Amino acid sequence: MTPDSDPTGSGRSSARRPSLWLTIPAVAAVAGLIALGVWQIERRAWKLALIERVEQRAHAAPASLPPIASWPEVTAAREEYRRVTLTGRFQHDRETLVQAVTDFGGGFWVITPLRAADGGNVLINRGFVLPAQRDRATRRDGEPSGEITVNGLLRVTEPGGGFLRHNDPVADRWYSRDVVAIAQRRNVENVAPFFIDADASLNAEGQPIGGLTVIRFPNNHLVYALTWFCLAFMLAGWLGVAFGGGFLRRADPGRRPGRAASTAPATGSHAGPISGHR
């Protein structure tokens, strides 16, 4: 056996490589992370298309409210934030206050049923009031009578309540605009399964303040996609280094790490007997 031979070198190289039980989950994780990144890219394309559709609806000319026969077919994907117009009479004695927070602070949405000429009822979010105007007596000037035309944005019902706060119809505490529950509490029949956010023209001078609908869709999908792709790249890089290092060590199993090979042959001189003539 020569000094440079290492009968255990290949064994150490194999031990340093990832085991099969670690390699398979790591490869699966890389594939999963890439799939998540692609999914986020697809979600981003869907969100951008949604934003474009909503912007077009919200800024289009007002259209007539869908007829009663088509109310069950109204969905958020097809109709939400569409500008609509309808005419009818408010039923102010059946209004409902729903807690809300706007740029004006905390207060309430004023939800009032409007009876249309065809006999259907639509809940109208007439706008926002501060707690000081909670009592109807403080805002009588903001209660239009007679036949009124309302322009606004069609919104789908918000059942259940808010975050960690559930509607309590018995106590008349409301945290979301739940059309069905509000209509039942106020004995409003033949009600549309949606409500209308009235614009500011309904009561331009006083309370409640209309036209406060916020249209905002979070769109962080590109950030999420880059995150998943970066994690996949890092994990794939680790696998490449692990297997690449093992391959290099197997290519020269007799060479010890850190030992430099000799570049010059060893030489020596031998003194022989000196002969001479006397």
Rounded to whole angstroms, the Cα distance separating 33 from 183 reads: 47
Identity (one letter) of the amino acid at 225?
A
With H, G, I as helix, E, B as strand and everything else as coil, classify residue 61: coil
- Please determine, looking at this structure, whether the domain spanning 82-203 carries the CATH number 2.30.110: no
The kind and range of the H/E element at 115 are strand 105-116
pLDDT digits (tens, 9 = 90+) for 78-92: 899 999 999 999 999
What does DSSP say about strands 105-116 and 83-90: parallel, antiparallel, or unpaired?
antiparallel
Please report the pLDDT score of residue 247 as a whole number: 47
With H, G, I as helix, E, B as strand and everything else as coil, classify residue 181: helix
Please report the pLDDT score of residue 174 as a whole number: 97
Q: Return the domain boundaries, the chain.
A: 18-61+215-250, 82-203
Please report the pLDDT score of residue 248 as a whole number: 45
Give the bridge partners for 250, in sequence order: none
Please report the pLDDT score of residue 256 as a whole number: 53
Low-confidence ranges of the chain (pLDDT < 70): 1-18, 204-205, 244-278
With H, G, I as helix, E, B as strand and everything else as coil, classify residue 190: coil
Please report the pLDDT score of residue 63 as a whole number: 92
CA distances from 197 to 137, 157, 209 (A): 23, 12, 11
What does DSSP say about strands 63-64 and 83-90: parallel, antiparallel, or unpaired?
parallel
Counting Cα atoms < 13 Å in the Cβ hemisphere of 231 gives 17
For residue 207, give the DSSP letter.
S
Rounded to whole angstroms, the Cα distance separating 85 from 121 reads: 14
pTM of this prediction exceeds 0.75? no
Alpha carbon 160 to its chain's center: 20
